[in-house]
Structure 1
Amino acid sequence: MKKQQKKKPVKYIILILLLAVIAVAGVWTAFHIKEGRKETTTVISKTTLEKVLDISELSTGKAVYHGIAHVYDLKNDERVLYHVAYDATVKAGIDTDKIKIKIEKEAKKVTVILPEVQIQDIDVDMGTLDYMFESKRSQTESVSKDAYQAAIADVTKECKDNEEIKDLAKENAKNVVKGVLGTLLAQQEEAYTLEVK
């Protein structure tokens, strides 16, 4: 009985010493991590922020478009030879080289002005082309090529006037820029506000 009672206090002492060592190591590590952060703070400048956003094109909107294009007779542009149903993927975004950044040091404010959203890529899925011919004579060797060109022209025209795709892409671009620059600004010793237009 006496041997078991002596072992318990020794176990508690070892446990307390072990916890003390872990606590000291944790405090030491936290102190050095904090010191390391202070040394690597980036100075806010227009050039620094531009480099962070230097990715040429930023695609921020993607939509799948289902359309029907019409292929006309080359000799009579009012006569429809056939119709083609298709699926296309449309990507919209901004040219990051045209982003304007304004820094107001006294007000501790960064303003980012995004350029106009552009349609960056249109991809018609050839596997989805489905034809409806007006006559059997319209079934020529160039059907696929002509149908593809008609689908590209149709979706390009439709997207040019579609403000929803552009609005979605603009909102997504704002969120991306806020996420990227917001993280950088949060690491500064002095707090900056960020406005993205």
Structure 2
Amino acid sequence: MEKTTIPEEKLEKAAETGDKAKKKIPENKKFLAVVAGIVLVSIVAGILVVPKILSSSKPEPEVITVSTLEKIINVSKLSTFTAVYNGIAQVMNEKKPEETDYYVSYEARVNAGIDFEKIEISVDSEAKAINIDIPEVYITEVNVDISSLDFIFYNKKANTSTVTQEAFKACEEDVRRESEQQAAIFELAQQNAENVLTALTRPIVEQLDSEYTLVID
């Protein structure tokens, strides 16, 4: 379990508007929980694909090829890391951008991972080496819990029938922007992706030719 803290820059302006409003606004925004969002999909892929490859093996030695490895990691987009996040979005007045209409607190889940279709695999038969290059980690999905929205209005006129929809979009933008600044999310998603690929490929590589060296980066 890993926690990261996000600075209170958005709340400084709120602090200037008065003690009463300030007390209602949470003191910080933070990622509350970190979960290795591994791998049910990957495990299923391994279970479905690897036995088929092994069962189709012939008496003569198999040759490890790129296509063989691609079948093993036959997964598309996969989230390898999930963070639970509590945040506060600031919504400004459209006509007076320097003025705040309201703050809205929310809870969200942020998923990060890689696109497995962009993985690059190379096999050097002479050097007995397999290289798997992992593409860049990115935020794959943001899920804001709409039932968790809690408002603090500075402009009472902003409290309309459509405010929830507007606030929901603001929360999605806020959590995506904040999470993209959290290096720990990308580092852990990268590490989990490497673990997934190792778990999927190493058994079949050792089965076909244990002399091969597997390098994932």
Q: Same fold (TM over 0.5)?
A: yes
Following superposition, the deviation at residue 160 of structure 1 comes to: 2.0
SS in 2 for 1:78: coil
Aligned equivalent of 1:86: 106
Computing the radius of gyration from Cα coordinates, the structure with the larger value is: 1
More helix by share: 1
Q: Deviations over 1:23-45 (max 9, x none)?
A: xxxxxxxxxxxxx9774965310
Amino acid at match of 1:125: D
1:114 aligns with 2:134: yes
Amino acid at match of 2:145: D
- Structure 2: runs of 5 or more not aligned: 1-55
SS in 2 for 1:126: strand
Counterparts in 2 of 1:8-87, with a 5 A limit? 39=59, 42-87=62-107
Query: Identity rate of aligned residues, in percent?
Result: 39
| Structure 1 residues 41 and 159: alpha-carbon distance in aligned structure 2, compared to 1, 3 A threshold | farther
Aligned equivalent of 1:187: 207
Aligned equivalent of 1:196: 216
Following superposition, the deviation at residue 164 of structure 1 comes to: 1.0
1:177 aligns with 2:197: yes
| Structure 1 residues 40 and 67: alpha-carbon distance in aligned structure 2, compared to 1, 3 A threshold | farther
1:129 paired residue among 146, 149, 157: 149
Please give the alpha-carbon distance, in whole angstroms, between the structure 2 residues aligned to 1:164 and 1:155: 15
TM-score calculated relative to the size of structure 2 = 0.70
SS in 2 for 1:127: strand
Please give the alpha-carbon distance, in whole angstroms, between the structure 2 residues aligned to 1:171 and 1:125: 27
TM-score calculated relative to the size of structure 1 = 0.77
- Structure 1: runs of 5 or more not aligned: 1-35
How many corresponding residue pairs? 162
| Structure 1 residues 66 and 107: alpha-carbon distance in aligned structure 2, compared to 1, 3 A threshold | same
Following superposition, the deviation at residue 189 of structure 1 comes to: 4.0
SS in 2 for 1:84: strand
- Identify the range of structure 1 (41-50 vs 117-126) with the bigger mean alpha-carbon deviation: 41-50
Point out 4+ residue stretches in structure 1 off by more than 6 angstroms.
Answer: none
SS in 2 for 1:129: strand
Counterparts in 2 of 1:152-167, with a 5 A limit? 152-167=172-187
More strand by share: 2
